[in-house]
Amino acid sequence: MTNTATTTPAQASPATARPDEADSNGRPLVELRHVDKHFGDLHVLKDINLTVSKGEVLVVLGPSGSGKSTMCRTINRLETIDSGSILIDGTPLPQEGRELTRLRAEVGMVFQQFNLFANKTIIDNVMLAPVKVRHVSKQDAHDEAMELLARVGVDSQAEKYPAQLSGGQQQRVAIARALAMHPKVMLFDEPTSALDPEMVNEVLDVMLELAGEGMTMICVTHEMGFARKAADRVVFMADGKILETGAPDDFFEHPRTERAKDFLSKIIDH
Ligand SMILES: Nc1ncnc2c1ncn2[C@@H]1O[C@H](COP(=O)(O)OP(=O)(O)O)[C@@H](O)[C@H]1O
Ligand SMILES: [Mg+2]
């Protein structure tokens, strides 16, 4: 992370157009090739092909049960796949071992439930993985954790425990914790779905800021305002398949499939 540490979350300017398929080196940062996965008889990912370029913000939309979370979880091997391959910055994800730990550290993940350690202070939550996994000194980990907490606007809460913070604050800590590992890509799986409505924007603002700084992001979200503002590309999934991929304005104004039209009519008309 090279940005300044003391800014509060601010509305980032909309993402500018970026190359759609590959970065300037011609290599996608995340690539899924013919990925298939079953849970028992349920075919949950069906021939998923997806590339995400460096600096690209991808928003994944689709009805509940379409495989969005499973796809995210395969990208850092929280779930295995049956066939196909997943590459992070050109390197295939191995099944297990030290190399998997290393590659997994390159993928930051933020979940609907914040998953902070309840018995650790906020600062300790953010310092933990850098000290344990990256072997950063405690002093350096502390300094960087404070910078990250300032960046997401919760540095004043550093010595508190998660339960003493609001949901929006906890989710911002979860983002800081993921960033502390210096990931190449950040995955967000419905990061605002468990929040009270008045806390949604403070989390989306942090995500917009990250997007504006060039972070590569894959975001599963139903926040259409965020999708329109931040996404370079939208992917629509249903029944384990990617049915549509396109620029946000194209997708929202001219969805091609009946499934997408139906989905959009349900979320936008309320
Ligand atoms: N661990 C699991 N075991 C069995 N079935 C699962 C598991 N996780 C998810 N599923 C099923 O896989 C399908 C896709 O789920 P999920 O990826 O969570 O979809 P989404 O995030 O789009 O709502 C659903 O039918 C869900 O019930
Ligand atoms: Mg899900």
Q: How do residues 114-160 score in pLDDT, each as one tens digit?
A: 899 999 999 999 999 999 988 999 999 999 999 999 999 999 999 99
* Predicted model pTM: 0.89
Q: Indicate whether 263 pLDDT > 80.
A: yes
The predicted structure's pLDDT at residue 105: 86
Q: Indicate whether 267 pLDDT > 60.
A: yes
As a whole number of angstroms, the distance between CA 54 and CA 112 comes to: 24
Cβ(90) to ligand 1 under 6 A?
A: no
**C-beta separation of 162 from 173 below 8 A:** yes
The predicted structure's pLDDT at residue 269: 54
Distance 73 CA to ligand 2 centre (A): 10
Cβ(41) to ligand 1 under 6 A?
A: no
Q: How distant, in Å, are the alpha carbons of 207, 210, 221 from that of 226?
A: 9, 13, 8
Mean pLDDT value across residues 211-216? 95
pLDDT tens digits, one per residue of 19-38? 444 444 557 999 999 999 99
Cβ(171) to ligand 1 under 6 A?
A: no
Read off the pLDDT band of 104 (50, 70, 90): confident
Cβ(69) to ligand 1 under 6 A?
A: yes
Q: How distant, in Å, are the alpha carbons of 31, 61, 227, 232, 235 from that of 248?
A: 20, 11, 7, 7, 9
Cβ(170) to ligand 1 under 6 A?
A: no
pLDDT tens digits, one per residue of 167-199? 999 999 999 999 999 999 999 999 999 999 999
User: How would CATH label the architecture of 28-116+184-269?
Assistant: 3-Layer(aba) Sandwich (3.40)
- Residue whose CA lies nearest to ligand 1 atom number 9: 70
Distance 221 CA to ligand 2 centre (A): 9
As a whole number of angstroms, the distance between CA 270 and CA 267 comes to: 6
The predicted structure's pLDDT at residue 25: 55
* Average pLDDT, rounded, for the chain: 89
All structural domains of the chain with their residue ranges: 28-116+184-269
Ligand 1 atom closest to residue 70's alpha carbon, by position in its atom list:
17
Distance 67 CA to ligand 1 centre (A): 6
Cβ(39) to ligand 1 under 6 A?
A: yes
pLDDT tens digits, one per residue of 38-92? 999 999 999 999 999 999 999 999 999 999 999 999 998 899 999 999 999 999 9
Q: Indicate whether 110 pLDDT > 90.
A: yes
Non-local CB neighbours of 115 within 8 Å, separated by 6+ positions? 174
**C-beta separation of 218 from 30 below 8 A:** yes
> H or E element: which one contains 226?
helix 224-230
The predicted structure's pLDDT at residue 5: 39
Sheet containing strand 83-88, edge to edge, reads 42-52, 30-39, 83-88, 91-92
Q: Which amino acid is at 77?
A: R
Non-local CB neighbours of 15 within 8 Å, separated by 6+ positions? 57, 211, 212, 229, 230, 231, 232
Q: Indicate whether 9 pLDDT > 70.
A: no
Q: Which ligand is nearest to the CA of 64?
A: 1
- Residue whose CA lies nearest to ligand 1 atom number 26: 65
Cβ(64) to ligand 1 under 6 A?
A: yes
Ligand 1 atom closest to residue 220's alpha carbon, by position in its atom list:
21
Q: Which ligand is nearest to the CA of 71?
A: 1
